[in-house]
Amino acid sequence: MRKYWQIAKGRMQENTAYSAWYWAGTVSAVMRLLIIYFFWQAVYANQTTIQNINLETMLTYIVIAMLLQGFVGGVGNELAENIKDGQVAIQLMRPYDMIFKLFAVDVGSKIMYLIQGTIPMVLIAYFFMDLSFPKSPETIILFALSALIGIWIGTFFDFLVGVLAFWTVNVWGVRVLKESLITFFSGALVPITLFPDWLRIITEFLPFQAMVYLPVSIYSGLITGTEAYMALGIQLFWLVSLYVLVRVIWTQAIKQITIFGG
């Protein structure tokens, strides 16, 4: 366990430098906040609620969803690059479990992202947009738990997409595909309750809503009481299933390396 923590810490140090990418990311995030704010202001100009959601709750939902979406990515990109340049074979010889190593790296960058990226953004958002806070401490705890599980579901899924690099050349295209699926089906753009019925039903059977929609709905009060615990149950189901899938597919991929040499 300790060596994985060291790996995570190493990555945190690498990310501490305020690089050009950090500023670019911050500027982009602020712009997205602006677009979200003005867009929803305009949408609510002629009505006070949509599907019983008022502007304040809606903005809270969208902003929290946007911030949370920043965490549902993972190490898929790094893994895909490692596969492409043959690094995987070298990594496999090292004395650690490569999956855990990648996750440790991921945890490292996410902690830095939380400190450098998310916290300033949360302050800006709450200062300028008067978003609402959860009503009870129970909700806060449930949200924290749910968000954490959602992030790991996203990480596992991202890993699965990264592994595809063993079989496809156009890694970039696959990533765009994955991003679009998540953006849309996770409820990062709009609460899933607004979807037409047929689409909502499809969405309920996919893992994506467990990444963003469920935690954010708990936060903004769209899901309460026993429903919230049910949501956690669904998330746990996906968490376990995806992890099993990660292990199974990784075993297959390693066979591919050891037999065909990558």
Partner 1 sequence: MRRYTRLYWEFAKSHMKVMMEYRIDFLIGVFSVMLEQFASIFFVKVVFDHIEQINGWSFYEILFIYGIAATGRSIHQIFFDNLWTLGWQYIRPGKLDRLLIRPVNPLFHVVADRLHQDGFGQLIIGLIILGTAIPQLDLVWGAAEIGMLVIMIISSGLIFVAINLFFATFSFWMIDSLPIVWAVFNMSDFARYPLTIYHKGIRMFLTWVVPYGFTAFYPAAYFIDKSGYKEFALWTPVAAIVCCVIAYAFWNRGLKAFASTGS
Binding partner 1 by CB under 8 A: which of 20, 93, 205, 233? 20
Query: 19 vs 14, 16, 24, 254, CA distance in Å?
Result: 10, 8, 9, 35
Binding partner 1 by CB under 8 A: which of 54, 118, 183, 256? 183
In contact, 236 and 149? CB cutoff 8 Å: yes
Establish if 172 lies at the interface with partner 1 (CB under 8 A): yes
Establish if 42 lies at the interface with partner 1 (CB under 8 A): yes
Query: 112 vs 8, 21, 125, 145, CA distance in Å?
Result: 10, 13, 19, 20
d(CA 126, CA 215): 19
In contact, 145 and 232? CB cutoff 8 Å: yes
Region from 33-41, 84-92, 119-127, 131-139 binding partner 1, contact rule CB under 8 A:
33-41
Q: What is the dihedral angle through the alpha carbons of 102, 92, 254, 73, rounded to the nearest 10 degrees?
A: 10
Binding partner 1 by CB under 8 A: which of 3, 10, 18, 23? 23
Region from 146-154, 169-177, 236-244, 252-260 binding partner 1, contact rule CB under 8 A:
169-177
Establish if 21 lies at the interface with partner 1 (CB under 8 A): yes
Binding partner 1 by CB under 8 A: which of 13, 16, 136, 168? 168
Q: Are strands 49-50 and 53-54 parallel, antiparallel or unpaired?
A: antiparallel
Establish if 52 lies at the interface with partner 1 (CB under 8 A): no
Helix (H) or strand (E) holding 201: helix 197-204
Helix (H) or strand (E) holding 50: strand 49-50
Question: Cβ 183 to partner 1, closest distance in Å?
Answer: 6
Binding partner 1 by CB under 8 A: which of 136, 180, 241, 258? 180
Region from 109-117, 140-148, 152-160, 168-176 binding partner 1, contact rule CB under 8 A:
168-176
Establish if 136 lies at the interface with partner 1 (CB under 8 A): no
Q: Which of residues 195-254 bind partner 1 (CB under 8 A)?
A: 195-196
Region from 37-45, 108-116, 152-160, 221-229 binding partner 1, contact rule CB under 8 A:
37-45
Picking from 205, 233, 190, the residue whose alpha carbon sits closest to that of residue 57 is 190
Helix (H) or strand (E) holding 228: helix 225-260
Question: Cβ 46 to partner 1, closest distance in Å?
Answer: 7
- All residues at 6 or more sequence positions from 20 whose CB lies less than 8 Å from its CB, including other chains: none
Binding site for partner 1 (CB under 8 A): 19-21, 23-25, 27-28, 31-32, 34-35, 38-39, 41-43, 45-47, 50-51, 168-170, 172-174, 176-177, 179-181, 183-184, 189-190, 194-196
